Amino acid sequence: MATTTQAGVTSAHAGEMKKHKMLIGGKWVEPSTGNWFESVNPYTAKPWALIPRGASEDINRAVAAAKKAFYDPAWRNMSATARGHLLRKLADLIAGEAERLGQIETTDNGKLIAEMGGQVKYIPQWFHYFGGLADKIEGRVIPIDKPGVFNFTREEPVGVVAAITPWNSPLLLATWKLAPALAAGNTVVWKPSEFASVSALEFGELFERAGFPPGVVNIVAGFGTEVGETLVTHKDVAKVAFTGGDKTGEHVYSMAARGLKRVTLELGGKSANIVFDDAELDEAVKGAISGIFAATGQTCIAGSRLLLHRPIYDQFVEKLLAMARTAKMGNPIDPNTQVGPITTQPQYQKVLDYIRIAKEEGATCQLGGGPAKRPECGNGWFVEPTIFTGVKPNMRIAQEEVFGPVLSIIPFDDEEEATRIANDSMYGLSAGVWTTSIRRALMMSERLEAGTVWVNTYRAVSYMSPFGGYKRSGIGRESGMEAIREYLQTKSVWIDTVGNAPNPFIMRMGGQG
Protein backbone atom coordinates (compact mmCIF):
# COMPACT_ATOMS: atom_id res chain seq x y z
CA MET A 1 0.00 0.00 0.00
CA ALA A 2 1.32 3.43 -0.92
CA THR A 3 0.87 6.12 1.72
CA THR A 4 2.27 9.59 1.52
CA THR A 5 2.19 12.64 3.79
CA GLN A 6 0.28 15.77 2.83
CA ALA A 7 3.60 17.02 1.53
CA GLY A 8 4.02 13.84 -0.53
CA VAL A 9 6.60 12.09 1.72
CA THR A 10 6.32 8.31 2.14
CA SER A 11 5.51 7.30 5.70
CA ALA A 12 6.79 4.62 8.04
CA HIS A 13 3.80 4.78 10.43
CA ALA A 14 1.08 3.58 8.09
CA GLY A 15 0.36 0.34 9.93
CA GLU A 16 -0.70 2.01 13.21
CA MET A 17 -3.30 4.39 11.82
CA LYS A 18 -6.98 4.12 11.00
CA LYS A 19 -7.39 3.75 7.25
CA HIS A 20 -10.51 5.66 6.23
CA LYS A 21 -12.83 5.01 3.33
CA MET A 22 -15.04 7.31 1.25
CA LEU A 23 -18.83 7.39 1.07
CA ILE A 24 -20.19 6.93 -2.46
CA GLY A 25 -23.73 5.85 -3.27
CA GLY A 26 -24.35 4.66 0.30
CA LYS A 27 -21.26 2.41 0.34
CA TRP A 28 -17.91 2.85 2.06
CA VAL A 29 -15.38 2.43 -0.69
CA GLU A 30 -11.62 2.48 -1.18
CA PRO A 31 -10.14 5.09 -3.56
CA SER A 32 -9.83 3.99 -7.17
CA THR A 33 -6.13 4.93 -7.01
CA GLY A 34 -5.49 2.40 -4.22
CA ASN A 35 -3.57 5.22 -2.49
CA TRP A 36 -3.96 6.84 0.91
CA PHE A 37 -2.18 9.85 2.39
CA GLU A 38 -1.50 10.83 5.98
CA SER A 39 -3.33 13.38 8.04
CA VAL A 40 -0.98 15.07 10.49
CA ASN A 41 -1.76 16.14 14.07
CA PRO A 42 -0.46 19.73 14.19
CA TYR A 43 0.39 19.52 17.90
CA THR A 44 2.70 16.52 17.53
CA ALA A 45 3.54 17.17 13.85
CA LYS A 46 3.05 13.40 13.46
CA PRO A 47 0.63 11.53 11.18
CA TRP A 48 -2.36 9.99 12.94
CA ALA A 49 -4.84 8.86 10.25
CA LEU A 50 -4.87 7.65 6.66
CA ILE A 51 -7.05 9.48 4.16
CA PRO A 52 -8.16 7.93 0.88
CA ARG A 53 -6.58 9.77 -2.03
CA GLY A 54 -9.55 10.18 -4.32
CA ALA A 55 -9.18 10.74 -8.06
CA SER A 56 -11.37 11.92 -10.92
CA GLU A 57 -12.86 8.44 -11.25
CA ASP A 58 -14.13 8.61 -7.64
CA ILE A 59 -15.70 12.03 -8.28
CA ASN A 60 -17.39 10.67 -11.40
CA ARG A 61 -18.83 7.77 -9.37
CA ALA A 62 -19.95 10.11 -6.57
CA VAL A 63 -21.63 12.60 -8.91
CA ALA A 64 -23.36 9.73 -10.75
CA ALA A 65 -24.61 8.41 -7.38
CA ALA A 66 -25.82 11.88 -6.36
CA LYS A 67 -27.58 12.38 -9.70
CA LYS A 68 -29.27 8.96 -9.43
CA ALA A 69 -30.38 9.76 -5.87
CA PHE A 70 -31.73 13.16 -6.98
CA TYR A 71 -34.11 11.49 -9.45
CA ASP A 72 -34.85 8.44 -7.30
CA PRO A 73 -38.41 8.51 -5.92
CA ALA A 74 -37.01 7.59 -2.48
CA TRP A 75 -35.68 11.18 -2.28
CA ARG A 76 -37.51 13.06 -5.02
CA ASN A 77 -40.97 11.98 -3.86
CA MET A 78 -40.20 12.18 -0.17
CA SER A 79 -42.46 14.81 1.39
CA ALA A 80 -40.76 17.99 2.56
CA THR A 81 -41.95 17.18 6.09
CA ALA A 82 -40.24 13.77 5.94
CA ARG A 83 -37.07 15.44 4.63
CA GLY A 84 -37.17 17.83 7.55
CA HIS A 85 -37.62 14.91 9.91
CA LEU A 86 -34.45 13.27 8.54
CA LEU A 87 -32.49 16.47 9.11
CA ARG A 88 -33.73 16.71 12.67
CA LYS A 89 -32.88 13.06 13.29
CA LEU A 90 -29.39 13.77 11.97
CA ALA A 91 -29.17 16.72 14.38
CA ASP A 92 -29.91 14.41 17.32
CA LEU A 93 -27.30 11.91 16.17
CA ILE A 94 -24.68 14.67 15.89
CA ALA A 95 -25.55 15.85 19.41
CA GLY A 96 -24.91 12.32 20.67
CA GLU A 97 -21.52 12.20 18.92
CA ALA A 98 -20.48 15.81 19.57
CA GLU A 99 -17.73 15.05 22.04
CA ARG A 100 -16.10 12.40 19.83
CA LEU A 101 -16.34 14.58 16.71
CA GLY A 102 -14.89 17.57 18.59
CA GLN A 103 -11.92 15.49 19.71
CA ILE A 104 -11.34 14.27 16.16
CA GLU A 105 -11.25 17.82 14.80
CA THR A 106 -8.95 18.99 17.56
CA THR A 107 -6.55 16.13 16.80
CA ASP A 108 -6.81 16.71 13.05
CA ASN A 109 -6.59 20.51 12.79
CA GLY A 110 -5.38 21.65 16.21
CA LYS A 111 -8.39 23.82 17.01
CA LEU A 112 -8.91 24.12 20.76
CA ILE A 113 -11.11 21.49 22.38
CA ALA A 114 -12.41 24.37 24.53
CA GLU A 115 -13.90 25.85 21.32
CA MET A 116 -14.67 22.61 19.48
CA GLY A 117 -16.76 21.28 22.37
CA GLY A 118 -19.15 24.21 22.00
CA GLN A 119 -18.95 24.31 18.21
CA VAL A 120 -19.90 20.69 17.53
CA LYS A 121 -22.66 20.85 20.17
CA TYR A 122 -24.08 23.86 18.31
CA ILE A 123 -23.96 22.24 14.84
CA PRO A 124 -27.25 20.32 15.38
CA GLN A 125 -29.05 23.68 15.53
CA TRP A 126 -28.43 24.20 11.80
CA PHE A 127 -30.02 20.85 10.98
CA HIS A 128 -32.96 21.58 13.30
CA TYR A 129 -33.46 25.04 11.78
CA PHE A 130 -33.23 23.97 8.13
CA GLY A 131 -35.13 20.76 8.92
CA GLY A 132 -37.91 23.01 10.19
CA LEU A 133 -37.66 25.15 7.05
CA ALA A 134 -37.91 22.17 4.63
CA ASP A 135 -41.73 22.17 4.55
CA LYS A 136 -42.01 25.95 4.56
CA ILE A 137 -40.50 26.39 1.10
CA GLU A 138 -43.45 27.97 -0.67
CA GLY A 139 -44.11 29.59 -4.02
CA ARG A 140 -46.42 32.53 -4.70
CA VAL A 141 -49.66 33.09 -6.55
CA ILE A 142 -49.14 36.19 -8.69
CA PRO A 143 -52.13 38.41 -9.54
CA ILE A 144 -51.02 38.63 -13.15
CA ASP A 145 -51.91 41.66 -15.31
CA LYS A 146 -53.90 39.67 -17.89
CA PRO A 147 -57.33 38.17 -17.78
CA GLY A 148 -57.84 34.43 -18.14
CA VAL A 149 -54.53 33.19 -16.77
CA PHE A 150 -53.48 31.79 -13.43
CA ASN A 151 -49.79 32.24 -12.57
CA PHE A 152 -47.90 30.72 -9.67
CA THR A 153 -44.30 29.92 -8.75
CA ARG A 154 -42.66 26.77 -7.46
CA GLU A 155 -39.35 26.72 -5.57
CA GLU A 156 -37.42 23.65 -6.74
CA PRO A 157 -34.05 22.13 -5.82
CA VAL A 158 -31.18 22.79 -8.24
CA GLY A 159 -29.80 19.22 -8.42
CA VAL A 160 -26.37 17.93 -7.45
CA VAL A 161 -24.48 20.32 -5.16
CA ALA A 162 -20.67 20.25 -4.83
CA ALA A 163 -19.65 21.25 -1.28
CA ILE A 164 -15.96 22.11 -0.83
CA THR A 165 -14.65 22.97 2.64
CA PRO A 166 -11.37 24.25 4.18
CA TRP A 167 -9.41 22.87 7.13
CA ASN A 168 -10.19 25.37 9.86
CA SER A 169 -13.75 24.29 10.85
CA PRO A 170 -14.58 21.33 8.60
CA LEU A 171 -17.87 20.16 10.13
CA LEU A 172 -19.31 23.59 10.88
CA LEU A 173 -18.60 24.93 7.39
CA ALA A 174 -19.91 21.78 5.73
CA THR A 175 -23.06 22.01 7.87
CA TRP A 176 -23.67 25.54 6.58
CA LYS A 177 -23.92 24.01 3.08
CA LEU A 178 -25.42 20.59 3.72
CA ALA A 179 -28.30 21.68 5.96
CA PRO A 180 -29.93 24.12 3.47
CA ALA A 181 -28.96 22.02 0.43
CA LEU A 182 -30.67 18.91 1.80
CA ALA A 183 -33.64 20.81 3.24
CA ALA A 184 -34.28 22.14 -0.28
CA GLY A 185 -34.21 18.60 -1.73
CA ASN A 186 -30.80 18.59 -3.43
CA THR A 187 -28.18 15.86 -3.27
CA VAL A 188 -24.55 16.52 -2.35
CA VAL A 189 -20.97 15.52 -3.08
CA TRP A 190 -18.75 16.88 -0.32
CA LYS A 191 -14.99 17.26 -0.67
CA PRO A 192 -13.32 18.17 2.62
CA SER A 193 -9.85 19.73 2.84
CA GLU A 194 -6.92 17.37 2.35
CA PHE A 195 -5.54 18.81 5.62
CA ALA A 196 -8.60 17.93 7.74
CA SER A 197 -10.73 15.12 6.32
CA VAL A 198 -11.09 12.74 9.27
CA SER A 199 -14.14 14.35 10.91
CA ALA A 200 -15.91 14.49 7.51
CA LEU A 201 -15.30 10.81 6.87
CA GLU A 202 -16.50 9.90 10.38
CA PHE A 203 -19.51 12.22 10.03
CA GLY A 204 -20.67 10.35 6.90
CA GLU A 205 -21.84 7.42 8.95
CA LEU A 206 -24.47 9.62 10.66
CA PHE A 207 -26.29 10.25 7.36
CA GLU A 208 -26.72 6.51 6.97
CA ARG A 209 -27.92 6.13 10.56
CA ALA A 210 -30.40 8.99 10.18
CA GLY A 211 -31.94 7.16 7.20
CA PHE A 212 -30.98 9.34 4.21
CA PRO A 213 -31.37 7.30 1.00
CA PRO A 214 -28.04 6.10 -0.48
CA GLY A 215 -26.33 8.67 -2.70
CA VAL A 216 -28.07 11.72 -1.20
CA VAL A 217 -24.79 12.59 0.56
CA ASN A 218 -21.43 11.42 -0.84
CA ILE A 219 -18.00 12.22 0.56
CA VAL A 220 -14.84 12.08 -1.55
CA ALA A 221 -11.51 12.96 0.06
CA GLY A 222 -8.43 14.13 -1.80
CA PHE A 223 -6.51 17.09 -3.12
CA GLY A 224 -7.97 20.26 -4.63
CA THR A 225 -6.29 19.92 -7.99
CA GLU A 226 -6.95 16.18 -8.22
CA VAL A 227 -10.60 15.87 -7.12
CA GLY A 228 -11.75 19.45 -6.43
CA GLU A 229 -11.41 20.55 -10.06
CA THR A 230 -13.13 17.45 -11.43
CA LEU A 231 -15.99 18.08 -9.03
CA VAL A 232 -16.36 21.78 -9.87
CA THR A 233 -16.25 21.18 -13.62
CA HIS A 234 -18.41 18.04 -13.69
CA LYS A 235 -21.29 18.56 -16.14
CA ASP A 236 -23.83 17.05 -13.73
CA VAL A 237 -23.00 19.40 -10.84
CA ALA A 238 -25.57 22.20 -10.79
CA LYS A 239 -24.15 24.28 -7.97
CA VAL A 240 -20.81 24.80 -6.24
CA ALA A 241 -20.78 25.84 -2.58
CA PHE A 242 -17.18 26.68 -1.71
CA THR A 243 -15.39 27.89 1.40
CA GLY A 244 -11.67 28.62 1.23
CA GLY A 245 -9.10 31.21 0.24
CA ASP A 246 -9.99 33.99 -2.19
CA LYS A 247 -7.42 32.94 -4.81
CA THR A 248 -8.79 29.39 -4.87
CA GLY A 249 -12.30 30.86 -4.82
CA GLU A 250 -11.52 32.98 -7.86
CA HIS A 251 -10.26 29.91 -9.72
CA VAL A 252 -13.30 27.84 -8.65
CA TYR A 253 -15.60 30.67 -9.75
CA SER A 254 -14.03 30.85 -13.21
CA MET A 255 -14.16 27.05 -13.65
CA ALA A 256 -17.80 26.99 -12.55
CA ALA A 257 -18.61 29.90 -14.86
CA ARG A 258 -17.56 27.84 -17.87
CA GLY A 259 -20.29 25.36 -16.96
CA LEU A 260 -22.74 28.20 -16.10
CA LYS A 261 -23.14 26.74 -12.61
CA ARG A 262 -24.61 28.46 -9.60
CA VAL A 263 -21.93 29.43 -7.10
CA THR A 264 -21.67 30.54 -3.51
CA LEU A 265 -18.25 31.52 -2.20
CA GLU A 266 -17.23 32.06 1.42
CA LEU A 267 -13.71 33.44 1.25
CA GLY A 268 -11.10 35.21 3.28
CA GLY A 269 -11.07 38.45 5.23
CA LYS A 270 -8.99 41.24 6.74
CA SER A 271 -11.57 42.44 9.21
CA ALA A 272 -11.27 45.73 11.05
CA ASN A 273 -12.01 45.75 14.79
CA ILE A 274 -12.58 49.43 15.64
CA VAL A 275 -12.35 50.81 19.18
CA PHE A 276 -13.66 54.31 19.96
CA ASP A 277 -12.65 56.37 22.99
CA ASP A 278 -16.11 55.98 24.55
CA ALA A 279 -15.93 52.15 24.55
CA GLU A 280 -15.91 49.93 27.63
CA LEU A 281 -12.18 49.43 27.27
CA ASP A 282 -11.82 46.18 29.21
CA GLU A 283 -14.59 44.59 27.14
CA ALA A 284 -12.99 45.90 23.95
CA VAL A 285 -9.61 44.42 24.95
CA LYS A 286 -11.27 41.03 25.30
CA GLY A 287 -12.93 41.60 21.92
CA ALA A 288 -9.58 42.42 20.30
CA ILE A 289 -7.99 39.29 21.82
CA SER A 290 -10.92 37.15 20.71
CA GLY A 291 -10.69 38.70 17.25
CA ILE A 292 -7.09 37.68 16.61
CA PHE A 293 -5.91 34.99 19.01
CA ALA A 294 -9.03 32.80 19.26
CA ALA A 295 -8.62 29.85 16.90
CA THR A 296 -4.98 31.00 16.67
CA GLY A 297 -6.14 33.61 14.17
CA GLN A 298 -7.03 30.83 11.70
CA THR A 299 -10.52 32.05 11.11
CA CYS A 300 -11.95 33.92 8.16
CA ILE A 301 -13.50 36.47 10.53
CA ALA A 302 -10.25 37.23 12.39
CA GLY A 303 -10.18 40.87 13.49
CA SER A 304 -6.65 41.15 12.16
CA ARG A 305 -6.68 44.95 11.87
CA LEU A 306 -7.23 46.71 15.18
CA LEU A 307 -8.17 50.37 14.61
CA LEU A 308 -7.70 52.47 17.76
CA HIS A 309 -9.05 55.97 18.43
CA ARG A 310 -6.04 58.16 19.21
CA PRO A 311 -7.20 59.37 22.67
CA ILE A 312 -7.14 55.80 24.02
CA TYR A 313 -4.33 54.41 21.85
CA ASP A 314 -1.51 54.12 24.44
CA GLN A 315 -3.76 52.96 27.26
CA PHE A 316 -5.40 50.34 25.04
CA VAL A 317 -2.14 48.94 23.63
CA GLU A 318 -0.81 48.58 27.18
CA LYS A 319 -3.91 46.68 28.36
CA LEU A 320 -3.90 44.53 25.22
CA LEU A 321 -0.25 43.56 25.58
CA ALA A 322 -0.80 42.71 29.26
CA MET A 323 -3.64 40.33 28.44
CA ALA A 324 -1.95 38.83 25.34
CA ARG A 325 1.13 38.02 27.43
CA THR A 326 -1.02 35.76 29.64
CA ALA A 327 -2.20 33.60 26.70
CA LYS A 328 -1.68 29.96 27.59
CA MET A 329 -0.25 28.04 24.66
CA GLY A 330 -0.08 24.28 24.42
CA ASN A 331 -1.87 21.10 23.53
CA PRO A 332 -5.26 21.99 22.02
CA ILE A 333 -6.81 18.89 23.60
CA ASP A 334 -6.18 20.46 27.05
CA PRO A 335 -9.33 22.47 27.91
CA ASN A 336 -7.19 25.18 29.55
CA THR A 337 -5.17 25.94 26.42
CA GLN A 338 -5.96 29.32 24.86
CA VAL A 339 -3.71 29.40 21.80
CA GLY A 340 -3.03 26.23 19.83
CA PRO A 341 -0.82 25.32 16.88
CA ILE A 342 -1.04 26.41 13.25
CA THR A 343 -2.89 23.64 11.43
CA THR A 344 -0.53 22.91 8.56
CA GLN A 345 3.17 23.19 7.93
CA PRO A 346 2.73 25.39 4.80
CA GLN A 347 0.42 27.71 6.77
CA TYR A 348 3.00 27.88 9.61
CA GLN A 349 5.62 28.98 7.08
CA LYS A 350 3.19 31.52 5.58
CA VAL A 351 2.52 33.11 8.98
CA LEU A 352 6.26 33.38 9.68
CA ASP A 353 6.79 34.89 6.22
CA TYR A 354 4.19 37.60 6.95
CA ILE A 355 5.89 38.40 10.27
CA ARG A 356 9.16 38.88 8.39
CA ILE A 357 7.43 41.02 5.74
CA ALA A 358 5.84 43.22 8.44
CA LYS A 359 9.25 43.81 10.03
CA GLU A 360 10.80 44.59 6.63
CA GLU A 361 7.98 47.04 5.91
CA GLY A 362 8.87 48.93 9.09
CA ALA A 363 6.11 47.83 11.49
CA THR A 364 7.13 47.62 15.16
CA CYS A 365 6.83 44.21 16.76
CA GLN A 366 5.47 44.73 20.30
CA LEU A 367 4.90 41.08 21.15
CA GLY A 368 5.92 37.68 19.81
CA GLY A 369 7.20 37.86 16.28
CA GLY A 370 8.37 34.30 15.63
CA PRO A 371 7.98 30.58 16.32
CA ALA A 372 6.90 29.63 19.86
CA LYS A 373 9.63 27.57 21.49
CA ARG A 374 7.85 27.13 24.85
CA PRO A 375 8.18 23.58 26.28
CA GLU A 376 4.37 23.18 26.34
CA CYS A 377 4.32 23.65 22.56
CA GLY A 378 6.09 20.33 21.99
CA ASN A 379 7.03 19.74 18.36
CA GLY A 380 3.94 21.47 17.02
CA TRP A 381 3.73 24.31 14.53
CA PHE A 382 3.31 27.13 17.06
CA VAL A 383 3.71 30.86 16.42
CA GLU A 384 3.88 33.32 19.31
CA PRO A 385 0.86 35.64 19.60
CA THR A 386 2.20 38.62 17.66
CA ILE A 387 1.25 42.30 17.81
CA PHE A 388 2.53 45.00 15.47
CA THR A 389 2.17 48.75 15.98
CA GLY A 390 3.29 51.44 13.55
CA VAL A 391 1.34 49.71 10.81
CA LYS A 392 0.39 51.86 7.82
CA PRO A 393 -2.92 51.00 6.12
CA ASN A 394 -1.18 50.31 2.80
CA MET A 395 1.37 47.82 4.19
CA ARG A 396 0.96 44.20 3.09
CA ILE A 397 0.44 43.19 6.72
CA ALA A 398 -2.62 45.49 6.77
CA GLN A 399 -3.97 44.41 3.38
CA GLU A 400 -3.38 40.65 3.03
CA GLU A 401 -4.93 37.79 4.96
CA VAL A 402 -2.33 36.16 7.23
CA PHE A 403 -4.64 33.52 8.78
CA GLY A 404 -2.59 33.32 11.96
CA PRO A 405 -2.14 35.03 15.37
CA VAL A 406 -0.74 38.29 13.97
CA LEU A 407 -2.39 41.61 14.79
CA SER A 408 -1.81 44.95 13.04
CA ILE A 409 -2.69 48.07 15.06
CA ILE A 410 -3.55 51.31 13.24
CA PRO A 411 -4.59 54.61 14.90
CA PHE A 412 -7.42 56.90 13.69
CA ASP A 413 -8.75 60.37 14.57
CA ASP A 414 -12.49 60.24 13.88
CA GLU A 415 -15.35 58.20 12.40
CA GLU A 416 -14.50 59.31 8.86
CA GLU A 417 -10.92 58.15 9.09
CA ALA A 418 -11.89 54.88 10.79
CA THR A 419 -14.39 54.18 8.02
CA ARG A 420 -11.88 55.03 5.30
CA ILE A 421 -9.19 52.75 6.73
CA ALA A 422 -11.64 49.92 7.47
CA ASN A 423 -13.10 49.98 3.96
CA ASP A 424 -9.70 50.32 2.29
CA SER A 425 -9.54 46.57 1.79
CA MET A 426 -10.23 44.14 -1.02
CA TYR A 427 -12.09 42.07 1.58
CA GLY A 428 -15.38 42.71 3.37
CA LEU A 429 -16.28 39.73 5.52
CA SER A 430 -16.82 41.27 8.96
CA ALA A 431 -16.06 44.21 11.23
CA GLY A 432 -16.23 45.06 14.92
CA VAL A 433 -17.21 48.38 16.50
CA TRP A 434 -16.67 49.16 20.17
CA THR A 435 -18.58 52.19 21.44
CA THR A 436 -21.21 53.14 24.01
CA SER A 437 -22.73 55.68 21.62
CA ILE A 438 -25.84 54.47 19.81
CA ARG A 439 -25.23 57.11 17.17
CA ARG A 440 -21.74 55.78 16.44
CA ALA A 441 -22.93 52.16 16.53
CA LEU A 442 -25.61 52.81 13.93
CA MET A 443 -23.52 55.14 11.80
CA MET A 444 -20.59 52.71 11.62
CA SER A 445 -22.73 49.65 10.96
CA GLU A 446 -24.24 51.52 8.03
CA ARG A 447 -20.91 52.74 6.64
CA LEU A 448 -18.76 49.62 6.98
CA GLU A 449 -18.46 47.49 3.87
CA ALA A 450 -18.77 44.06 5.48
CA GLY A 451 -21.25 41.20 5.47
CA THR A 452 -21.34 41.14 9.29
CA VAL A 453 -20.86 44.01 11.73
CA TRP A 454 -20.58 43.25 15.43
CA VAL A 455 -21.09 46.07 17.92
CA ASN A 456 -19.58 45.53 21.39
CA THR A 457 -19.09 41.84 20.63
CA TYR A 458 -17.02 39.82 18.17
CA ARG A 459 -17.01 36.39 16.51
CA ALA A 460 -20.70 35.65 17.08
CA VAL A 461 -22.53 33.45 14.56
CA SER A 462 -25.91 31.73 14.54
CA TYR A 463 -27.88 29.40 12.32
CA MET A 464 -30.52 32.15 12.18
CA SER A 465 -28.39 35.04 10.95
CA PRO A 466 -27.10 35.34 7.35
CA PHE A 467 -23.33 35.15 6.97
CA GLY A 468 -21.22 36.05 3.96
CA GLY A 469 -18.88 38.53 2.40
CA TYR A 470 -18.78 41.83 0.56
CA LYS A 471 -16.13 42.36 -2.12
CA ARG A 472 -13.50 39.59 -2.36
CA SER A 473 -14.84 37.90 0.77
CA GLY A 474 -17.48 36.10 -1.15
CA ILE A 475 -20.73 35.71 -3.01
CA GLY A 476 -24.01 34.62 -1.47
CA ARG A 477 -25.04 33.96 2.12
CA GLU A 478 -24.97 30.97 4.44
CA SER A 479 -27.26 30.49 7.49
CA GLY A 480 -30.60 32.17 8.07
CA MET A 481 -33.56 32.34 5.70
CA GLU A 482 -31.30 33.74 2.94
CA ALA A 483 -29.30 30.49 2.75
CA ILE A 484 -32.11 28.26 1.52
CA ARG A 485 -32.63 30.50 -1.53
CA GLU A 486 -29.08 29.70 -2.65
CA TYR A 487 -30.17 26.07 -3.12
CA LEU A 488 -33.47 26.67 -4.92
CA GLN A 489 -34.56 27.77 -8.38
CA THR A 490 -37.86 29.41 -9.19
CA LYS A 491 -40.28 28.07 -11.78
CA SER A 492 -43.13 30.22 -13.06
CA VAL A 493 -46.25 28.24 -14.07
CA TRP A 494 -48.93 29.76 -16.36
CA ILE A 495 -52.36 28.19 -16.72
CA ASP A 496 -54.92 29.47 -19.18
CA THR A 497 -58.33 29.49 -17.47
CA VAL A 498 -60.63 30.62 -20.32
CA GLY A 499 -59.54 28.72 -23.44
CA ASN A 500 -60.07 31.70 -25.70
CA ALA A 501 -56.67 31.82 -27.43
CA PRO A 502 -55.62 35.34 -28.50
CA ASN A 503 -53.69 36.08 -31.73
CA PRO A 504 -51.15 33.18 -31.84
CA PHE A 505 -48.66 35.26 -33.87
CA ILE A 506 -47.89 37.70 -31.05
CA MET A 507 -46.58 37.31 -27.52
CA ARG A 508 -49.11 37.76 -24.69
CA MET A 509 -47.93 41.06 -23.28
CA GLY A 510 -49.59 43.39 -20.80
CA GLY A 511 -52.91 44.84 -22.00
CA GLN A 512 -53.20 42.47 -24.95
CA GLY A 513 -55.45 40.07 -23.07
Choose between 75 and 403: whose C-beta lies nearer to ligand NAD: 403
C-alpha distance from residue 389 to each of 72, 75, 227, 284, 399 (Å): 59, 56, 42, 17, 15
Per rule CB under 6 A, count of chain residues that contact ligand NAD = 30
List the x/- string, 243-272, binding to ligand NAD by CB under 6 A.
xxx--x--xx-------------xxxx---
Task: Answer for the pair 387, 336: CB distance below 8 angstroms, yes or no.
Answer: no
Site for ligand NAD contains 354 (CB under 6 A): no
Choose between 185 and 303: whose C-beta lies nearer to ligand NAD: 303
Q: Measured between alpha carbons, how far is 509 from 305 in angstroms, rounded to an integer?
A: 54
CB of 501 to ligand NAD, least distance (A): 50
By DSSP bridging, strand 141-142 and strand 149-157 are antiparallel
Q: Measured between alpha carbons, how far is 198 from 48 in angstroms, rounded to an integer?
A: 10
Site for ligand NAD contains 239 (CB under 6 A): no
Segment contacting ligand NAD by CB under 6 A, of 189-197, 305-313, 368-376, 436-444 = 189-197
CB of 450 to ligand NAD, least distance (A): 11
Segment contacting ligand NAD by CB under 6 A, of 163-171, 206-214, 285-293, 378-386 = 163-171
Among 232, 288, 372, 397, binds ligand NAD (CB under 6 A): 232
Task: Answer for the pair 259, 235: CB distance below 8 angstroms, yes or no.
Answer: yes
C-alpha distance from residue 266 to each of 117, 246, 350, 428 (Å): 24, 8, 21, 11
Q: What angle do CA 161, 164, 168 make, to 5 degrees?
A: 145
Site for ligand NAD contains 11 (CB under 6 A): no
CB of 225 to ligand NAD, least distance (A): 5
Site for ligand NAD contains 170 (CB under 6 A): no
Choose between 137 and 217: whose C-beta lies nearer to ligand NAD: 217
Among 67, 191, 261, 270, binds ligand NAD (CB under 6 A): 191
By DSSP bridging, strand 430-434 and strand 452-455 are parallel
Number of Cβ atoms within 10 Å of the Cβ of 371: 16
Site for ligand NAD contains 226 (CB under 6 A): no
Tell me if residue 359 falls in helix, strand or coil.
Answer: helix
Site for ligand NAD contains 224 (CB under 6 A): yes
Site for ligand NAD contains 166 (CB under 6 A): yes
- At a CB cut-off of 8 Å and minimum separation 6, what does 362 contact? 390, 392, 395
In terms of DSSP H, where are the helices of 110-139? 113-133
C-alpha distance from residue 385 to each of 288, 320, 331, 341, 393 (Å): 12, 12, 15, 11, 21
Site for ligand NAD contains 228 (CB under 6 A): yes
Residues classed as catalytic: 266, 300
CB of 165 to ligand NAD, least distance (A): 6
Choose between 50 and 429: whose C-beta lies nearer to ligand NAD: 429
Site for ligand NAD contains 193 (CB under 6 A): yes
Residues at the site binding ligand NAD, with contacts judged by CB under 6 A: 164-168, 173, 191, 193-194, 224-225, 228-229, 232, 243-245, 248, 251-252, 266-269, 300, 401, 403, 429, 469, 474
